[in-house]
Amino acid sequence: MIENQSENTENKENDVSDQANFPEDNSTPEDQILENDDSSTQKVEEINTEELKNTISNNDARLEQLEKEHETLKNQYVRISADFDNFRKRQSRDQDDLKIQLVSKSLTSILPIVDNFERARQQLKPENEEAQALHRSYQGLYKQLVEVLKQQGVAPMRVVGQQFDPNIHEAVLREPSEEFNEDYIIEELQRGYHLEGKVLRHALVKVSMGPGKQNSQEEVEKDKVEGDIASEENTSEEI
């Protein structure tokens, strides 16, 4: 029995010495769980931060791409809008030009009638009451015709005394003039007309060649030459 007690004592001493050889671990299981949770949380935060950075970078790149696309579409819209505006203006001008051409063609065919009215007015000289009544009736018709032309935008040219312009005048005759300088219109042979500022019909005119001094000098020189020729002929006959 004494031996058993001694063995037990030895076993206890061995246990004590074994405990002394190992470090003491005072941490509880709850502490270990908390440490593991903190480590996991830190890793998750690092992953989330990296993902957030990648997302921001991708969003910035996408935003830059969208801004470029927006600028491209904006430029295309501006060009298309300008092209459409030019097309609309061109169509409007073409329609106006076509309208003027059609109106010009119709009015040009009426102008000879106006010319005949004006010639008749110059030639008619009513002497009795019946002729005067006919003349007044004729004048009324002529005024109505002129008024219709005015409403359509037709205006007569005033050319006498104006400098000759081939864009609106057509020279039929040229002659010396003491009253007008060279290239100025002496007489209107056929009236010209404007339509909305454009030439509907050119005016047929007579143009001045100037006072005629040059022509007089040419005639003197011509007479002198003819005189010399006659003198030579007389000399040859005498011989």
* Span 185-204, pLDDT tens digits: 999 999 999 988 889 999 99
Of the listed ranges 99-103, 201-205, 209-213, the one predicted with least confidence: 209-213
Domain range annotation of the chain: 90-152, 155-239
pLDDT tens sequence across 133-181: 877 888 888 888 889 889 988 999 999 999 999 999 999 999 998 888 9
Dist. CA 209–CA 185, nearest whole Å:
10
Dist. CA 8–CA 1, nearest whole Å:
11
The pTM score is 0.52
Q: Mean pLDDT over all residues of the chain?
A: 76
CATH of domain 155-239: 2.30.22.10
pLDDT for 82 beyond 80? yes
Dist. CA 61–CA 69, nearest whole Å:
12
